[in-house]
């Protein structure tokens, strides 16, 4: 079967020339007037993600001691409220601080954080800047199991190295001690007596926002009922949760992580949140490939292999995994509803009469709820 062609995705309505000038003015104020910074032409990224705006740029300036600096940088900017943001809110300082602490406390590969601007006065939205990292990202568009990309074409041994090293990075995040105090700023303002209860309540509020925008889903609502009926008897220890722990949010070099990206969903919760998200992220794409008659990558990121590797690294055997996989698939359903609304906003598709047509993992969720 012929692999479908990829279509470009619009992520922002911001004017690059205006943004370039504002970034240069902000950098001059940040570094001091004698630095004389110059920000080069901005470029977007073909990497994954439709949430925060990601802007690549080169910048040059003079340090206080007269040293000339030329840096390759990345700005992560909260989306414009008129561009149908994926999430209800964007805590850019919280994301920056999470990356900073992971960079300081672990050997996990993350971009080196540089500056954070929490106010909107400089460019119209909060943002932070970090060093650029070179490497390759498994594509979302078209999803890597569809074929014709570096990961699909890799050897079995290379794919295994990528899988194992990614699980190792997640395990290292979860090994950070005193996560609830060190990352207290990630506490979710949602009702619930436990971190998992608050996590799910936060997701439900996110779905309610999407539904209010005209994309309600009886399937998603049935899924929340399923979660209530199958709640784990014991949630286990609370760790730093990356939140969007999938290979599409990792820059790889030689099939090992060079940088973990996209921390919008970071929070506190059970270990299983990240482990299940890693597995489910592949399940979603593999299910799409199978529905199109493509072979995909059925032996990659299998639940049994991932959980066994995680237990080997941490001594913790993931529990109630069906619950966490179903919860992850449900969150993917909300993501697809919202990104579908976003595509309709930018004129890239028509909004269907049945919003559930936007949920590309619809059959996967239905099977999980049935099982």
Give the separation between CA 342 and CA 142, rounded to whole angstroms. 18
Shared domain for 95 and 178, answered yes or no, is no
Q: Does residue 355 share a domain with residue 332?
A: yes
Is residue 327 assigned to a domain?
A: yes
Whether residues 193 and 309 share a domain: the answer is: yes
pTM above 0.85, yes or no: yes
Q: Looking at the predicted structure, is the pLDDT value of residue 275 above 90?
A: yes
In this structure, is residue 9 part of a structural domain?
no
Domain assignment present for 11: no
Q: What tens digit of pLDDT does each residue of 12-57 get? A: 578 999 999 999 999 999 999 799 999 999 988 655 555 679 999 9
Strands 238-241 and 267-270: antiparallel
- Higher-scoring residue by pLDDT: 51, 72: 72
63 shares its domain with 149: no
**Rounded Cα–Cα distance for residues 259 and 169 (Å):** 10
| Percent of all residues in the chain with a pLDDT value above 70, rounded to a whole number | 95
Assign residue 72 the CATH number of its domain.
3.30.200.20
Residues 178 and 297 in one domain: yes
310 shares a domain with 226: yes
Note whether 68 and 175 are same-domain residues. Answer: no
Q: What is the CA radius of gyration of the chain?
A: 21
**Is 349 among the domain residues?**
yes
- Residues 286-334 have pLDDT tens digits of 999 999 999 999 999 999 999 999 999 999 999 999 999 999 999 999 9
pLDDT in tens, 153-210: 999 999 999 999 999 999 999 999 999 999 999 999 899 999 999 999 999 999 999 9
Boundary residue ending a domain (110, 131, 152):
131
Domain C-terminal end among 80, 107, 131 = 131
Question: Catalytic positions, please?
Answer: 244
CATH number at residue 362: 3.90.1200.10
Distance (Å) of CA 289 to CA 6, 144, 240, 299 = 14, 9, 32, 13
State mean pLDDT over 277-285. Answer: 98
125 plus 248 within the same structural domain: no
Does one domain contain both 124 and 151? no
The residue segments making up the domain with residue 344 are 144-370
Domains of the chain: total? 2
In this structure, the number of other CB atoms found within 10 A of the CB of residue 27 comes to: 20
Neighbours of 107 (CB within 10 A): 8
**Same domain membership, residue 110 and residue 31:** yes
């Amino acid at each position: 079967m012929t692999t479908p062609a990829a279509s470009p995705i619009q992520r922002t309505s911001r004017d690059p020339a205006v943004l370039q000038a504002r970034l240069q003015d902000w950098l001059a104020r940040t570094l001091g007037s004698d630095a004389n910074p110059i920000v080069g032409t901005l470029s977007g990224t073909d990497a994954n993600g439709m949430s925060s705006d990601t802007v690549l740029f080169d910048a040059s300036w003079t340090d206080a001691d007269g040293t000339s600096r030329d840096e390759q940088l990345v700005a992560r900017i909260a989306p414009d409220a008129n561009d149908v943001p994926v999430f209800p809110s964007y805590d850019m300082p919280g994301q920056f601080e999470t990356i900073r602490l992971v960079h300081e406390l672990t050997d996990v590969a993350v971009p080196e954080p540089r500056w954070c601007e929490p106010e909107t006065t400089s460019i119209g939205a909060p943002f932070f800047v970090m060093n650029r990292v070179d490497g390759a990202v498994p594509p979302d568009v078209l999803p890597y199991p569809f074929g014709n990309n570096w990961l699909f074409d890799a050897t079995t041994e290379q794919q295994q190295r990528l899988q194992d090293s990614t699980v190792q990075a997640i395990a290292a995040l979860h090994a950070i001690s005193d996560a609830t105090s060190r990352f207290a700023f990630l506490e979710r303002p949602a009702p619930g007596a436990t971190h998992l209860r608050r996590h799910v309540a936060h997701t439900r509020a996110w779905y309610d926002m999407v539904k209010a925008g005209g994309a309600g889903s009886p399937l998603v609502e049935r899924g929340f009922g399923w979660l209530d009926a199958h709640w784990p008897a014991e949630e286990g220890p609370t760790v730093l949760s990356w939140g969007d722990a999938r290979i599409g949010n990792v820059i790889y070099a030689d099939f090992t992580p060079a940088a973990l990206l996209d921390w919008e969903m970071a929070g506190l919760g059970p270990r299983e949140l990240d482990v299940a998200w890693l597995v489910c992220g592949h399940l979603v794409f593999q299910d799409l490939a199978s529905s199109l008659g493509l072979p995909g990558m059925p032996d990659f990121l299998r639940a049994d292999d991932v959980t066994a590797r995680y237990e080997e690294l941490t001594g913790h055997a993931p529990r109630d995994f069906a619950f966490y996989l179903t919860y992850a698939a449900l969150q993917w359903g909300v993501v697809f509803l919202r990104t579908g609304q976003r595509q309709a906003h930018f004129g890239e598709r028509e909004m269907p009469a049945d919003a559930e047509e936007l949920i590309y993992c619809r059959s996967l969720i239905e099977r999980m709820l049935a099982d």
